[in-house]
Amino acid sequence: MLGHVMTSLASALDNALTTATELPGGSFSVGEPYAVQREVVDLRLARGETIAGVKLGLTSKAKMEQMGVDSVIWGWLTDAMRVEDGGVLDLGPRIHPKVEPEVAFLVRAGAIAAVAPALEVIDSRWLDFKFTLDEVIADNTSAAGFVVGSWQPVPDSVDRLGVQLILDGEVVQSGSTAAILGDPRLAFAEALRLAGTLEDDWIVLAGAATAAVPVGTGQTVRVEVEGLGSASLKASS
């Protein structure tokens, strides 16, 4: 019975993803949220996508407050979610996309090999971007896209770097990497603990340093992280 419930929620979430339609929150009993998440991701892998890494979510107070959910969560990144730095994000298959400024880590031998500024695109499959903790976990933590800037050698510390999210040349959010669990490297450690293993060349997104901002057609979005450089995308329909 539980299996039946999970399968129907996973396929409903997958349908919401592929048809860019929302699901009303509260319409499903979630059961084991990470098991549903794995099913949702397996449906993507069955279509030929491959795992590109993992993402942490709600690692900052700004995000916890924005979403009304107060626990660190994690999900999977796939190759199909990746947008090249400076590339185009196709809004066609999106519901209500938002962008948020992040820091990415590159994995080698289970450790951090390099760091880069990153943007995450989140696009909840839940109506109006409103969900319970279990619902957002089942929905692969709203993962929809990501951009990684140029990889940089890991500096002595990455815990107090200024972060800016810039929309069409205007700073719309600013903060510090200190917002990410006090130090984004703790998010990496958390990702390793939660995922159990991190494979070589996987990307770890440490979680947004600020609240997320809606993105629309024609807009250019850039993240700047002090000392690490920038990464950008252009949204088009």
Contact residues toward Mg ion (CB under 5 A) are: 120, 208
Q: What's the min distance (Å) between Cβ of 18 and ligand OOG? A: 19
DSSP codes of every residue in 76-123: EEEGGGB--TTEEEE-TT-SS-EEEEEEEEEEETTEEEEEEEEEEEE-
Cβ contacts of 156 within 8 Å, gap of 6 or more: none
Which x/- pattern, by CB under 6 A, does the window 128-147 give for ligand OOG?
--------x----xx-----
Phi, psi torsion values for 178, nearest 5 degrees: -60, -25
- In the structure encoding, which two tokens stand for residue 132, read together? 């319970």
User: 37 or 142, CB closer to ligand OOG?
Assistant: 142
Choose the one of Mg ion, ligand OOG, none that binds residue 37, judging by a C-beta under 5 to 8 angstroms depending on kind: none
| Residue 234 DSSP SS3 | strand
User: 6 or 205, CB closer to Mg ion?
Assistant: 205
Which x/- pattern, by CB under 6 A, does the window 157-196 give for ligand OOG?
----------------------------------------
Query: Is residue 207 at the binding interface for ligand OOG, with CB under 6 A as the rule?
Result: yes
Q: What's the min distance (Å) between Cβ of 4 and Mg ion? A: 31
Query: Is residue 100 at the binding interface for ligand OOG, with CB under 6 A as the rule?
Result: yes
- In the structure encoding, which two tokens stand for residue 54, read together? 């993992």
| Residue 143 DSSP SS3 | strand
CA distances to 107, 208, 228, 229 from 153, in Å:
12, 21, 9, 12
Strand (E) or helix (H) holding 208: none
Query: Is residue 120 at the binding interface for ligand OOG, with CB under 6 A as the rule?
Result: yes
Residue with nearest beta carbon to ligand OOG: 57
User: 54 or 208, CB closer to Mg ion?
Assistant: 208
| Residue 177 DSSP SS3 | helix
Q: What's the min distance (Å) between Cβ of 109 and ligand OOG? A: 25
Can you give the binding site for ligand OOG, defined by CB under 6 A? 55, 57-59, 63, 67, 100, 120, 122, 124, 136, 141-142, 207-208
